[in-house]
Structure 1
Amino acid sequence: MWKRLSCGFATSCRTPPETLVNRLPLSLSLLAIALFASTALPAKDTDPALAWASIKDIHQRMDAGQLTSETLARQFLERIRQIDQSGPSLKAVLETNPDVLKLATELDRKHAGGALHGIPVLLKDNIDTGDRMLTTAGSLALADAPPAPRDAGLVARLRKSGALILGKTNLSEWANMRSNHASSGWSARGGQTRNPYVLDRNPCGSSAGSGAAVAAGLATVAIGSETDGSIICPAAANGIVGIKPTLGLVSRSGMVPISHNQDTAGPMARNVADAATVLSVIAGSDPRDPATVDADKHATDYTRFLDPNGLKGKRIGVVRQLAGAEPNADRVLEQSIALMKAQGAIIVDPVEIPHLKELGDVELTVLLYDLKHDMQAYLATRPGSKMKTLADLIAFNRREAQREMPWFGQELFEQAEAKGPLTDKAYVEAQAKAKRLAGPEGIDAALAKQHLDALLSPSWGPTFVTDLVLGDHVVSGDPTVGGASQPAAVAGYPSITVPAGFAHDLPVGIVLFGAKWSEPTLISIAYGFEQHAKAWQPPSFLETVGGKPVPASP
């Protein structure tokens, strides 16, 4: 049975993961060496506190003349060298921007004062940048293709705000839509990303590298993407904040797709304020993405909703259908409910979302059809690539099976390739049913029945041990063990996960979701919760649960 994109996949193989890097195409190996050699320069007057500094803190230091973007960039590059490339060896960052120090110097000269001026941002490696960095979705099939010819829509917005694009993060290859048996956070290009809290645990979801990198202090913020669970799960598993926006609020132009019905990019940060700042920058209409036609009507400065009393008077419904499978997650949920009540929230418990168990099959049908259609449309934007269709990717994987499929196969690719055009009756009916059951007859109905502002559930329990042989340890078909992302993902509605506690050194989060365009309400509630829960803690890079920490390399 298919497992949602926050879940994973695997088959047995004889090739150990550490040998995969040695088998990269020569051109890619040389490029990687050149990129890291050109940017991993020692930072002057290293200040470890900058790894955890917020956007506000960084800007205050810059305004006071105590910090430059170049110095900040150098420190993050050195931290990537010490923690990601060696030491704990997280494998969260695929490549750093070879022009990052030059760009940082230019930003220091401009003093433009944008919302993200000088702030280092990492991008998931399914987001195009019109520079010397690659966009591969973690696959060797695109590793020899020329870089994308232009920035993705959201990247253009980041640059306009003064953001410093620091590099690209590892991900579950093809955003976890290649096989039913993968290990989340594994790609042929980057290997297996590790969870910075406990290194033998999984970072979860296809935005694994973005989540692990932000949690480990390798950048101030990052961008992830979600089709179903791939922002919410890695944010929760890595103890950070993740926002999956309303479908159409953030442009998908220049993003390697799965489904135009569910794909969206969103911010990943260590606190709600930073996530809201990034969302304010990347939200808005883009003529290259028709889904964003109404975005400018709803996009706003989301930092206006950072109210420490944001819980007061809010009606929040507890979705018990998405709880009850993991005792640590349930414990943290109960503590969170108690805190919300103490801060003036009105808790309605339980609240039922109709049709929840009916979403899985129709969702998969839509995603398989969309994958074939949308992938071909994206590949057409990559001149110079030999890959033109999903069939080309399947054939490449077969030819390069030893490198591309050492642990798991491509049955989802093959199922998608067997689908017909988007005019097929099966697709049209499944797409309409999925949106109707998840949205108007699902989330909207639950909110309206009890006059609710938002819905609440555990976002994820303590994450599972990484297993390249058996894949992600997720109970097939269980919506709780698989996370609470599905209703909002299928409906195209927003959700936000916030750190809420710990269990056995592992982060546990809660997720809030609601109606279309309800980001302001969700951010207000999440910020009010965060300010009183104060649940975030930096990672310890433990070898295993109860084990010793792995130090950074000198």
Structure 2
Amino acid sequence: MRGRLAALSLFIAIMLVGPAITAASAPAVPGSSPTVAGIDLEKATIPDLQRAMDRGRLSSVQLTLFYLHRIRALNPKLNAVITTNPDALRLAFESDLRRQRHRTKGAMDGIPVLVKDNIDTADRQATTAGSFALAKSRPTRDAHAVSRLRDAGAVILGKANMSQWAGYRSFNGSSGWTSVGGQTNNPYVLDRNPCGSSSGSGVAVSAHLATVAVGTETDGSIVCPSGQNGIVGVKPSLGLVSQSGVVPITAKQDTVGPMARNVVDAAILLAALNGPDRRDPATVDAASHALRDYTKFLKPQSLRGKRIGVWRDTYGVTPETIAKFDKAVQELRRLGATPVDVSIPYIDIIDANEFPAIRTEFKHYLNAYLASTGGTHPADLAGLIKFNEDNAAVEMKYFAHELWVRSQATNGDLNDPAYKALRAAATSAGQRGLDETLRNHRLDAIVSPTNNAAWKTRLGVGDGGLFVGSSGPAAVAGYANVTVPMAFDGALPLGMSFMGAKFSEPDLLALAYAFEQGTKARQLPKFLPTIG
């Protein structure tokens, strides 16, 4: 009886609020602020939404319906969402019931979240990594990050599109393309690329298709789509957030992380995601660094008296980006920091060893993931290669899988001395490069451009190496990296990355918050079809 009454109440709630949401959700005026229940979502933070729900001005069902309608209206242009969760409204209704009974679970309760489609959910949603090869896979348990979200009362809104297989398939792959979800488009200029591989998560957050989203990164896959879509992204230190239940590239660098429109929301989501997981030994070692509240570090004056390294000579950075970055450095000085020019050493060692090591790791970790995942799907990397060849018209429509072929040619043995030398060299170079730079210059953090302005998407040609390579040292070292909106190059956003030591997330979030509050660089997307 209680179940039937709850279902009836949910139906009534949807009928009452649904018509009011529909008109507000479609962006009739490009670039106008989306509102629900009179709340400007561009300005609102998660604490603002929680206060509105506590006061009865807003409900989780109402907020969830808003996003579902907005996804329906905008996703045909953006291809940012692969699927919406058929259980989303039930989860929202359950959150509203908890609130009525004064039993809310914290800051994330009732907040709609999109998760990248390489993160397992043991529900009615598939986890495909953007490939039809996994369309019938059936994970038997949630990824640890998803379990943490459920424990926090968040509404799992759906799965975000991505670069297929997290971008590790071909040198000519297009960031944001999957055979399942199509090509994700940048909401600022639709024919421009969103960067990858957490492209759908970045676009969805920027375009207000969810309050926040969860991405994953091996090297650049959170920070680049965050920078290129004008949002905040946090690439956590390795081990702070569990990578269990995620379609892998390599456990030596992979991490799950938050993507949000502002630093406050990113900090709240990070607190919900992090914590020890017995399936991921790295998180057990990092348990003492997993905090339940990062917002207490966020103060507008946090840049005062800080020494900030300024790293300009990143791979592929354009003069236009450097000009905007130099102005941002002046803003750091205005906000009380002391900028110090630096050059991070050992980048050449990282470049020579990172991806040769990943070739062996990818085969090892992907085979292990497939072996532990239920449902019908290829059993291993060799089977995936054959699946692509048998379904080339769909899976290899625009590019091949030469990275897979190279990975399959390795022995996949993590005890192989030649492989171990590659990984040791790469990781050591990343850690030494950051540690020595921070120590020798007495720095609190290092900043660099996150990205160039978004390039035009060219399916079949690839990204052409047109993105900035500032993510490398932190990614390979396993250290923290936070990107925040910095400026605009014409109609396209640019991000600035704050990098620091391992488990320096509290400090980096504080610095990013001070810069965000002092510059207010983010602007709403305008969904322009193209630019000159």
- 1:426 maps to 418
| RMSD over equivalenced CA pairs, Å | 1.5
Provide closer, same or farther for how the CA distance between residues 486 and 324 of structure 1 changes in structure 2, counting only shifts above 3 A. Answer: closer
Alignment of 1:90 with 2:82, yes or no, is no
Shifted more, 41-50 versus 369-378: the winner is 41-50
Q: CA deviation at 1:335?
A: 1.3
**TM alignment of 1:197-346, pairs within 5 A:** 197-300=188-291, 301-322=293-314, 325-346=317-338
Is 1:515 the counterpart of 2:490? The answer is no
For residue 134 of structure 1, give the secondary structure of its aligned residue in structure 2.
Answer: coil
* Correspondences of 1:143-222 after superposition (within 5 Å): 143-145=135-137, 147-222=138-213
CA distance in 1, matches of 2:348, 2:301: 35
In 1, distance between residues paired with 2:470 and 2:18? 41
Letter in 2 for 1:397: N
Shift of 1:121: 0.2
Q: Secondary structure at the match of 1:543?
A: coil
1:382 aligns with 2:373: yes
Secondary structure of 1:322's match? coil
**In 2 relative to 1, CA 525–108 (structure 1 residues): closer, same or farther, beyond 3 Å?**
same
| Structure 1 CA distance for aligned equivalents of residues 47 and 531 of structure 2 | 34
1:415-434, CA deviations, whole angstroms, 9 ceiling, x for partnerless residues? 00111111222211011111
SS at match of 1:311: coil
* 3-state SS, counterpart of residue 18 of structure 2: coil
State the aligned residue count.
497
Alignment-mate amino acid for residue 545 of structure 1: I
Q: Which amino acid aligns with 2:311?
A: V
Partners of 1:41 and 1:409 lie apart in 2 by 50
Instruction: Name stretches of at least 5 consecutive residues in structure 1 with no aligned partner.
Output: 1-38, 476-480, 547-554
Residue by residue, what CA displacement relative to the aligned partner does 1:444-498 show, whole Å, maximum 9, x if unpaired?
01111011111111000111000002111325xxxxx433100100001010110
State how far apart, in whole Å, the 2-side matches of 1:294 and 1:503 are.
Answer: 42
**Contact 1:214/1:222 (CA < 8 Å) preserved in 2?**
yes
One-letter code of the match for 2:414? L
| Residue of 54, 60, 64 corresponding to 1:69 | 60
CA contact (8 A) 1:203 1:238 kept: yes
Q: Which runs of 4+ in 1 moved over 6 A?
A: 39-42
In the superposition, relative to structure 1, how do residues 472 and 488 fare at CA in structure 2: closer, same or farther (>3 Å)? same
Higher mean alpha-carbon deviation, 530-539 vs 323-332, is at: 323-332
Say which of 515, 525, 528 aligns to 1:539.
525
**What pairs up with 1:388-537 in 2 under 5 angstroms?**
388-420=379-411, 421-439=413-431, 441-474=432-465, 481-537=467-523
The sequence identity of aligned pairs, in percent, is 51
Aligned-pair CA distance for 1:144: 2.2
Report the alpha carbon displacement of residue 113 of structure 1 after superposing the two structures with TM: 4.0
Q: Aligned in 2, Cα 1:113/1:290: closer, same or farther, shift over 3 Å?
A: closer
Contact 2:350 2:427 (C-alpha < 8 Å) held by counterparts: no
Q: TM-score, normalised by structure 1?
A: 0.88
Alpha-carbon spacing, 1:370–1:208, altered in 2? closer, same or farther (3 Å): same
| 2: CA distance, partners of 1:40 / 1:430 | 59
Report 1 or 2 for greater relative contact order, CA contacts < 8 Å, sequence distance ≥ 6: 1
Map 1:38-57 → 2, pairs under 5 A: 43-46=18-21, 47=24, 48-50=34-36, 51-52=41-42, 53-57=44-48
Deviation at 1:42, TM superposition (A): 8.2
Contact preservation (8 Å) 1:40, 1:81: no
What secondary structure sits across from 1:339 in the alignment? Answer: helix
